[in-house]
Structure 1
């Protein structure tokens, strides 16, 4: 599914966008390390890797078709959520958003730079996600893309790899360009920091709330994840630390987003 940025922009009137920015939760500015890597480079690499993944899934008959009930469900959630994402990152308005479902037992989901979203059937089926919980997962993953956490990670890795003496020359790419190419194939394996995860939780909760999904679902989601992690942790947990502390953080931030949810409800 392609959700063109131009089409989505029609769903967000200018006044509404300004209001969203004024009321937005405060998670600070994006890391300075994002400036070391051109956004276009990351998004192009992500689009190529995502397309390859979808082709492989299709070849294995693991890519769900557009008429699949879960695909319709996820795309409906995305249609409600994405318009509220646009104020978080000016580039998001022009992203070619995609939402796909891959048949796999993995408890996993992701949103690559440029709005490339994928869910695995395992996270929907094994956790029996409600719409609110699925929206929470999607919001969290979309938040990583909006906050450019992958770009930040790559920037830090590139800075470490090329040395401080070359940082003044990054606009000319050179060695940095090769470093980006090397990391491009590892977009899905990048490890986000705890602060990245906290940002994604908060921004994801806000996105879900504005889209009309109950942000309290974050608590039940992570309770389900904790149960699923007994024994061998599912893949989604390998880079998304959970537990009582995380649930407490979500509960502490609920007062910030519940009013948004209340206003999103009809009537």
Structure 2
């Protein structure tokens, strides 16, 4: 099994790290407990909901119409699945790993509506691409894909799969793609027009070239941290250990040796992510303790042989 290039697959995802020299953009406030102290939990107000605290969704989402973005994402996803099938790079629906991911997804998805009411009408899909790449993603409207390589090369447990799936689903629920496209609109239209649009939440031509934009989006470090935390909660409510993110990022760190330092990357470093996961665990510990646990457990696929050189 080798890497497979799919024209309609997005360029972002769990295992892809886009580098840049810019600092992260301001926006939503994240209650992450960033230095790993756990004290942030005690500091939460008494009225706070049980679970992680990440603040409101960005106002920039108002600059891009959700319906058109979701329609564009569904089209791109369908084209990607068809392309993968034509290249014999799509696992069949009865494959054990596809069944595994769909079972885990079915446990997590009932808890998505609290984070985004639009999720109730999404037609969720989960597929597996037969590529060695260490990646997974969830496009708007609930279109999920895992690459076989991340399952096999990292020998993921079900809890670690849930951590990845929760993270990627959180990107869709928190509308990070829509936010990114809204920020693109800001640069195109200028501050004066944007001020009025933020109040009205209406933009008629924001769907221009949406399909192409959806393939090349870059999420910020703030987006990634938020997705980690929301994903933890989704996994905990579904009965999967929220601490699995620690072992997951340790495995990713081993697989990504030589990655650029954190200040050059749109993704937080593995060490930072592990600190944040440990700090946020008390916020979801009760949810996990009370959640019904999975009645099925699945083994990872057989490890892949070393890649052949060309």
1:111 deviation in Å? 0.5
Confirm or deny that 1:76 pairs with 2:74: no
The aligned counterpart of 1:166 is 193
Corresponding position of 1:223: 250
The residue number in structure 1 matching 2:209 is: 182
Which residue number in structure 1 is paired with residue 6 of structure 2?
A: none
1:135 aligns with 2:165: no
Find 1:206's aligned residue among 216, 229, 233: 233
CA-CA distance at 1:204 after TM superposition: 0.2
Instruction: Return the structure number with greater relative CO, CA threshold 8 A, min gap 6.
Output: 2
Distance 2:78 2:213 in 1: 14
Question: What do the CA deviations read for 1:89-118 (whole angstroms, capped 9, x no partner)?
Answer: 000000011111110111000000100000
Matches within 5 A, 1:1-267: 22-167=49-194, 168=196, 173-174=203-204, 176-177=205-206, 180-231=207-258, 240-265=267-292
1:141-199 superposed Cα distances (whole Å, 9 cap, x missing partner): 0000000001001000111112223333686635x43xx33243132431111111111
Residue 124 of structure 2 aligns to a residue whose secondary structure is: strand
Between structures 1 and 2, the one with greater helix share = 1
Query: Could you list the runs of 5+ residues in structure 2 that have no partner in the other structure?
Result: 1-47, 294-310
Q: Secondary structure of the residue that 1:86 maps to in structure 2? A: coil
In 2, Cα distance between equivalents of 1:141 and 1:84:
14
Per the normalisation by structure 1, the TM-score is 0.84
RMSD over aligned Cα atoms: 1.9
Contact 2:220–2:267 (Cα < 8 Å) also in 1: no
* 1:22 Cα deviation from its structure 2 partner: 4.4
> Is there any run of 5+ residues in structure 1 with no aligned partner, and where?
1-20
The answer to whether the Cα contact below 8 Å between 2:50 and 2:283 also exists between their aligned partners in 1 is no
Deviations 1:19-41 (A, max 9, x none): xx943422111000001111001
Moved over 2 A (4+): 21-25, 164-174, 180-184, 238-243
User: Is contact 2:51-2:283 (8 Å) kept?
Assistant: no
CA deviation after TM superposition for structure 1 residue 240, in Å: 3.6
Return the TM-score normalized by structure 2. 0.73
How far has the Cα of 1:220 moved from its partner? Answer: 0.2
Q: How far apart are the structure 1 equivalents of 2:221 and 2:136?
A: 18
Asked whether the 8 Å contact 2:225–2:268 carries over to 1, the reply is: no
Specify the alignment match of 1:10 in structure 2.
Answer: none
Aligned length in residues:
239
Question: Would the alpha carbon gap of residues 127 and 183 (structure 1) be closer, same or farther in structure 2, given more than 3 Å must change?
Answer: same
| C-alpha spacing 1:141/1:172, structure 2 compared with 1 (3 Å) | closer
Measured in 2, the distance between the counterparts of 1:51 and 1:191 equals 21
**Would you say the 8 A contact 1:144–1:150 is kept in 2?**
yes
Distance 2:51 2:201 in 1: 32
